[in-house]
Chain A
């Protein structure tokens, strides 16, 4: 089975990379862009479905996200 982990910066945490992308979009002439936040997607293939959600959550808590600054979401792809 496949899972997708989406890691995003918490609200209120400064995201200079997002700001730089926002600036570049404006420089390209795109209008109406309110704000840009950059995150990460981590795709994981599991060979065993047992307790998949609990194991994925533990992976996020222990390594994939730093919960001081990041939120995460686990999505089961199939």
Chain B
């Protein structure tokens, strides 16, 4: 365990990511890409399933 003291754990990191690090030249949100890449294939499948079911529910309600 680190004994370093963090005076403000809620503060933004010292070097916040730049816009270029977050969005590529085509406007793709790289934070979203990194998030989905961090999931397991099963978690990605569940995310697709949840999305499809949400859309299907909205269709039924309408």
A binds B: no
